[in-house]
């Protein structure tokens, strides 16, 4: 019969062979605990030096901060336009800018319509009823616009029903004190 290896034996075989458990002693643990709890004669001077060193290091590292009044901000004015432009120049500039905006909006609308056409073609190729979808979308948009318009009219009607505060009576020249009297010399 062959001898069993350590792996084939039970767990107690492992514990017997480990050197760690040979050094564990309850008596030694109690002696170590007593030694730690017994006071070291140098513990208070060491504590004082440690605290002084920490406080000194923090005093050096942490900068002294003071609150100061913030600096006045620098104001930079928009210098795109000439300072002395006339009303005609401003109007001409606005008209030219509006023409540019109109061209940009027209190009954007053209691109949007092109995209819609591409999606319509894609929908038709995949078997989707694109015309029906467009009709439904238009009906939904019309319903939303009608609801917004009705809400706005209802708001206006509610404002019209509210009584406006009565204006105070206006004094006529005959009712004013001193009316008809000649003005004083200093006036």
Query: Tens of pLDDT along 144-172?
Result: 999 999 999 988 887 766 655 555 555 55
Domain assignments of the chain as residue spans, ordered by start: 8-60, 129-157
Tens-place pLDDT, residues 67-123: 788 899 998 877 777 878 899 999 999 999 999 999 999 999 999 999 999 999 999
pLDDT of amino acid 187? 44
Q: What is the pTM of this model?
A: 0.36
Q: Quick one: tokens of 62?
A: 């942490």
Q: Quick one: tokens of 54?
A: 């920490």
User: In whole angstroms, how far apart are CA 53 and each of 43, 46, 50?
Assistant: 15, 10, 5
Q: How far apart are CA 145 and CA 137, in angstroms?
A: 12
């Amino acid at each position: 019969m062959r001898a069993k290896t350590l792996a084939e034996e039970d767990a107690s075989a492992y514990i017997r062979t480990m050197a760690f458990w040979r050094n564990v002693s309850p008596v030694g643990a109690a002696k170590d605990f007593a030694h730690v709890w017994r006071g070291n004669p140098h513990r208070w001077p060491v504590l004082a030096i440690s605290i002084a060193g920490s406080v000194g290091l923090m005093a050096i590292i942490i900068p002294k901060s003071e609150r100061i009044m913030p600096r006045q901000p620098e104001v930079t004015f928009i210098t795109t336009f000439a300072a002395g432009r006339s009303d005609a120049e401003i109007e001409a500039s606005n008209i030219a800018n509006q023409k540019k905006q109109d061209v940009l909006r027209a190009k954007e609308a053209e691109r949007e319509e092109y995209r819609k056409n591409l999606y319509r073609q894609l929908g038709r190729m995949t078997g989707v009823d694109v015309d029906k979808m467009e009709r439904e979308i238009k009906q939904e948009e019309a319903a939303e616009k009608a609801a917004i318009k009705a809400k706005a009219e209802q708001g206006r009607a509610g404002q019209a029903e509210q009584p406006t505060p009565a204006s105070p009576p206006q004094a006529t020249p005959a009712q004013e004190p001193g009316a008809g009297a000649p003005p004083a010399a200093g006036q």
